[in-house]
Amino acid sequence: MNNLKQEAAKAALQLLEPDQFIGLGVGSTIAYFIELIASRVSFKSSLKFTSPSLETKILLQENGLICIDNSTIATLDYYFDSCDQVDIHLNAFKSGGGVHTGEKIMANMAKQFILLVDGAKMVDKLTTKYPLCVEIIPDAWLSVLKELKSSYSSAISNIVLRKSEQKSGPLLSERGNFLADIYFSKLPDIFDLNKQIKLITGVVEHSLFYQLCSVCLRATEDGVTHHFANRIVESNTDKKSTQ
Ligand SMILES: O=C(CO)[C@H](O)[C@H](O)COP(=O)(O)O
């Protein structure tokens, strides 16, 4: 599986050109991508990077890549990230990292949001395998919980407030908010879910990335395919040099 993540990251190298401004998400796929950029891209010193994740920012610095403060940026050439699960229309759950608010801001800023996945992450339709993570302003935690339970009573199996393992109490997001995972027994229509959860007062953002992704590079044992919405347009046979 890790090998396939590396293959997806390798295919993404071919999109890079000198002087681009690039956003990067977080996770093992993005860590491979950073290592590959640092070791293989001859024009890496002309590239500028940013990330919503402190972990990724540190990795960029450790690899000698230029990392810019994200609050000073309005446009990116590309935003690269992975996800927990993506459907054939390129809607994705990005719940794992708990940094979906910052990730969504970057996906919106980017001319193109590119997902890098191993084949197993792509499904016809999103499932209940992963929770929907919701960032919530702490004052509103109980009222949001009440509203979620009343609006989705028949569809939700559990709602779990993320807790810190290293100290007692809730885990805080980068913005000092709570993170709650909503587990569904039956996934509501994702068009409605995307809109309705955001309408709850106190919800900052949720981890469903609805119609935000431009292209998904999907690596399987047979190679890397480029998915645009529900079409597979090209296979990764392009050997544009990054040396
Ligand atoms: O969505 C994410 C973070 O919010 C990550 O991209 C997701 O957890 C996948 O990570 P990995 O590349 O380690 O499989």
Q: DSSP states of 70-120 as a string?
A: GGG-S-EEEEEE--SEEETT--EE--TTS-HHHHHHHHHHEEEEEEEEEGG
pLDDT-derived band at 71 (thresholds 50, 70, 90) equals confident
Q: Is it the case that residue 57 has pLDDT exceeding 60?
A: yes
Question: The CATH number of 131-203 is which of 3.90.1150.10, 3.30.70.260, 3.40.630.30, 3.20.20.10?
Answer: 3.30.70.260
Residues with CB under 6 A from ligand 1: 5, 25-29, 81-84, 94, 96-97, 99-100, 103
Q: Residue 38 CB: number of other CB atoms within 10 A?
A: 15
Q: Which protein residue has the closest C-alpha to ligand 1 atom 10?
A: 27
Atom number, ligand 1, closest to the C-alpha of residue 81: 6
Report the C-alpha gap between 78 and 20 in whole angstroms.
8
Atom number, ligand 1, closest to the C-alpha of residue 118: 14
- What is the mean pLDDT of the segment spanning 36-50? 98
ipTM of the complex: 0.94
Q: Is it the case that residue 199 has pLDDT exceeding 50?
A: yes
Q: Is it the case that residue 70 has pLDDT exceeding 90?
A: no
Domain ranges of the chain: 2-122+208-226, 131-203
Domains 2-122+208-226 and 131-203 are alike in CATH topology: no
Q: Which protein residue has the closest C-alpha to ligand 1 atom 3?
A: 97
Question: The CATH number of 2-122+208-226 is which of 3.40.50.1360, 2.40.30.160, 2.40.280.10, 3.20.20.70?
Answer: 3.40.50.1360
The pTM for the full model equals: 0.92
DSSP single-letter state for residue 128? S
Q: Is it the case that residue 236 has pLDDT exceeding 60?
A: no
pLDDT-derived band at 242 (thresholds 50, 70, 90) equals very low
- What is the mean pLDDT of the segment spanning 16-36? 98
Cα 26 to middle of ligand 1, angstroms: 6
Q: Is it the case that residue 52 has pLDDT exceeding 50?
A: yes
Contact 170, 136 (CB under 8 A): no
Q: Is it the case that residue 79 has pLDDT exceeding 50?
A: yes
Percent of the chain with pLDDT over 90: 90
With CA atoms as reference, report the closest residue to 78 among 32, 20, 35. Answer: 20
